[in-house]
Chains A and B, each alone.
Chain A
Amino acid sequence: MMKREDCFKILARHIKDEAVVATYSSAVDWVAVAPRTLNYTSIGAMGLDSSHGLGLALGRPDKRVVVLQGDGSLLMNLGCLVSIGAAAPKNLVHFVAHNETYEANGGHPIPNRKVDFATMAKSAGYAATYDFSDLRMFEQQIAHVLEQQGPVFATLHVEPTGPLKYDYPSLYDPKKRDAFKQLWSA
């Protein structure tokens, strides 16, 4: 089992001009590790992060999009796996932090802790899927994962963390949305 924050620290070393879509606990950890204009943290409704990511990937096929979704979010929008698999954006890499809980909503367990998201993504049509539970293996393979022709899916088996501080006014700041849009659409 890994720590989400450690995974993101490793991931951040490989991120350049990609859009990074992140929400809730993943957004808190990601923004702390890698504050940048091309972070997209205004999702508006739980589960839609992957759909925002699909829109960004389709809209800018010349750039890459990384989605950092939680397992609770993905469960609220499981159909997105099929939609993304069918749309098949080559520039989308979709990570799911699988900590088996609704961490932002009190740490309650998801309905089935052992659900296999990577297998679901594979059958939904993702071009490549991965399943990581060892940090050293993740560090060894992350460059390869990010270079794959998408859509790419990777489950990160991570520990639940303690209560985080969810600074929603900052995560949902309209000025950050505007700055992102200006840079992404340029």
Chain B
Amino acid sequence: MPASGEAGPRQLSGAGIIAAIKASGIEYILSVPDITTSSGLLAPIARDPDFKLVRVCKEDECIGIGTGLAFSGKRSLTLIQHTGFLDSINAIRGVAVEYNQPICMMIGLLQHDPDRTPRESSRYGVRIVEPILEDMGIVHHLVSLDADIPKIKPAIDKAYAESHPVAFLVGRSPS
């Protein structure tokens, strides 16, 4: 059973994701490096003059920075690894969820088999990500195939329109 999408090649285009992020009006990328998205997303984003990349030391900083930007009318995307997501739960709880802030997170699933769902992962840390998001009431989307990329822009637009967080789980290294 495919992890996401129904048809098409089993690949994920980094350029396609970046185009969707740009189309969503994202100006700032807030990031701690993640190996799943390192070469396919963060490296090209770092070279792209359309983005302002803010490199931070620890993932929960992104939640505060993204909120300050949202209060200023600016859109941002937090690009992190699932371990950083887990480390940032209290910030996400307090700011994104309890204050209803449009924190958009793109979360790389470290050492995940991209042809399985996150819940079926052999990695405990990956298996618990979706249940935690659901317990927290955070909308989430799996992005493992090119067919998943069209989910990105509507979800980001909705997060900002309705002021709530959203998470994209990147299950395959974008190429």
Contacts and interface: CB of A to CB of B under 8 A. Distances in A.
B67 A58 contact: no
Interface residues of A, number: 32
Contact of A79 (B57, B73, B91): B57
Contacts of A59: 68-69, 71-74
Interface in A30-88: 40, 42-45, 47-60, 77, 79-80, 82-83, 86-87
Contacts of A47: 60
B61 A185 contact: no
Nearest to A77: B61
A82 B57 contact: yes
Interface SS of chain A: helix
Contacts of B56: 51, 79-80, 83
Contacts of A55: 64-72, 76
Q: On chain B, which size bracket covers the interface?
A: 20 to 34
A80 B90 CA distance: 17
B74 A77 contact: no
A45 B28 CA distance: 22
Contact of B54 (A42, A58, A174): A58
B72 A60 contact: yes
A92 to B, nearest CB: 10
Contact of A51 (B63, B74, B98, B99): B63
A185 B73 contact: yes
24 contacts: A40-B71, A43-B94, A43-B95, A44-B63, A44-B64, A44-B67, A44-B94, A44-B99, A45-B60, A45-B64, A48-B61, A50-B64, A51-B56, A51-B61, A51-B65, A52-B64, A52-B68, A54-B61, A55-B64, A55-B72, A77-B58, A79-B61, A83-B56, A185-B73
Interface of B: 28, 52, 54-58, 60-74, 76, 90-91, 93-95, 98-99
Interface of A: 40, 42-45, 47-60, 77, 79-80, 82-83, 86-87, 174, 177, 180-181, 184-185
